[in-house]
Chains A and B, each alone.
Chain A
């Protein structure tokens, strides 16, 4: 099946964040997590996908179409939770539901009510009286009640307690279980990608520093921590980052087999965590 989302060599100057040469692909039935610190371009990328802004260069295709030209048709198949998870908080949960329902031909009121029940959202409560977590849930209920094929979530886990974070991520993997729907979410917390994400994208300063199946990172990549003699590894093909540590060097390899020759003696070989990868990726040995 065709990719739901294709981003090709996007450039966009926007406020302080400038996206440079960003490319991604998301096939149906998968979860893509975009991680990066504040100002790395996550929200800008999401705005481009939703057609809120246009790229300066490159191309974006959502369901095969340009969101700048057929934004309306594309958005009818997208469910979204933005960094402000909902709006018009002066309305009650039910009234907000009705307001949003008007916009979707495929609105499923039964499903919406079921989600409200499941998320324990009181229909008569004003949205302004909901906690951030509850607002994210309401946003998610709104996003899931119209048979969306692509879910776009901008930092849904920010400000949530760990229990609800887990619950939310678990829900994402339930959403894609139909094999048709995909999820794209951004986060500042790398461990959000740990389990359910199929594809990980790391953004730093508007550039993609890693993009690919997350399992590649966790299963194939390796870190060698060792003494000063590791400096010799710097030139190797498989080396993706190297950083001076207190004892010598930490070297990130994208191939465990290539790393093994370097860990004779006191050097140790480790599977990297996502944090390790993010920290080391692209870093050069500083003198």
Chain B
């Protein structure tokens, strides 16, 4: 497993005084059955939706990301293409790739689909160990109350 922290060089506003430099964190697993490009896309997506990468942040270029992650350029390109298709990032020719302006409604939908995805995972795991729907909802209720 390889862990890399990638700090993007600057923000689009050029405001160097922001205390927190937006940063992209990508962890790749060689043993995962998930394709590398999907691992990259999923993690960046989560950081955009989760607000860790703010609107307008400049992302690492395809090539420097490939260099930093030690993966092929085609892989990172594919990951970015996927995010671009989802409207999460924009590539401005000659300037770089930025986190796209999100409309709140869209972001909410995205976050919801993320919740849905994780619940689906939980459901299929539950099936494997033979948990009933009731057991599962009970578990969910307990978890929610704990917080």
A contacting B, Cβ–Cβ less than 8 Å: yes
A contact residues, total (Cβ < 8 Å): 21
Q: Mark B61-77, 1 if CB is under 8 A from A, else 0.
A: 00110110011111100
Tell whether A213 is near chain B: CB-to-CB under 8 Å. Answer: yes
Cβ distance B2 to chain A, nearest Cβ, rounded Å = 9
Q: Which residues of B contact A285 (CB under 8 A)?
A: none
Residue of B nearest to A31 (CB): B72
* A-chain residues with CB within 8 Å of residue B63 when the two chains form the complex: 29, 176-179
Residues of B within 8 A of A179 (CB): 63
Bound CA span A178–B73, Å: 11
Q: How far is the CB of B40 from chain A (nearest CB, A)?
A: 12
> B74–A214 contact, CB under 8 A?
yes
**Cβ B67 vs Cβ A219 within 8 A:** no
Contact with B along A210-222 (1 / 0, CB 8 A): 0001110011000
CA distance A31 to B74 in the complex (A): 10
Q: CB-nearest residue of chain B relative to A170?
A: B70
Question: A146 contacts the other chain (Cβ, under 8 Å)?
Answer: no
A271 within 8 A of B: yes
* Total A-B contacts with CB atoms under 8 angstroms apart: 54
Taken together as a complex, chains A and B put the C-alpha atoms of A20 and B67 apart, in Å, by 34
Is residue A195 contacting chain B, with contact meaning CB distance below 8 A?
A: yes
Q: Is A198 an interface residue (CB 8 A)?
A: yes
A170 to B4, CA, bound (A): 14
Nearest residue (CB) in A for B68 is A173
Q: Which of B16-24, B31-39, B109-117, B129-137 has 4 or more CB atoms under 8 Å from chain A?
A: B31-39
Q: Does B67 lie within 8 Å of A215, measured CB to CB?
A: no
- Our pick among A30, A170, A174, A218 for the contact of B36 (Cβ within 8 Å) is A218
- Verify if A10 is at the interface (C-beta below 8 Å from B): no
- Across the interface, do A219 and B70 meet the contact criterion of CB distance under 8 Å? no
Q: Does A169 contact B (CB under 8 A)?
A: yes
Q: How far is the CA of A195 from the CA of B74 in the complex (A)?
A: 11
CB closest chain-A residue, reference B71: A195
B78 within 8 A of A: yes
Which residues from B are CB-within-8-Å of A267? none
Q: Are B33 and A271 in contact (CB under 8 A)?
A: yes
Q: Is the CB of B73 within 8 A of A198?
A: yes
Q: Is the CB of A215 within 8 A of B37?
A: yes
CB contacts (< 8 Å) of B72 on chain A: these are: 31, 173, 195-198, 213-215
The chain A residues found within 8 Å of chain B, CB to CB, are 29-31, 169-170, 173-174, 176-179, 195-198, 213-215, 218-219, 271
A/B interface sample: 15 pairs, CB < 8 A? A169-B70, A170-B67, A173-B66, A173-B71, A173-B73, A174-B67, A177-B63, A195-B71, A196-B66, A196-B71, A214-B72, A215-B36, A215-B78, A218-B36, A219-B37
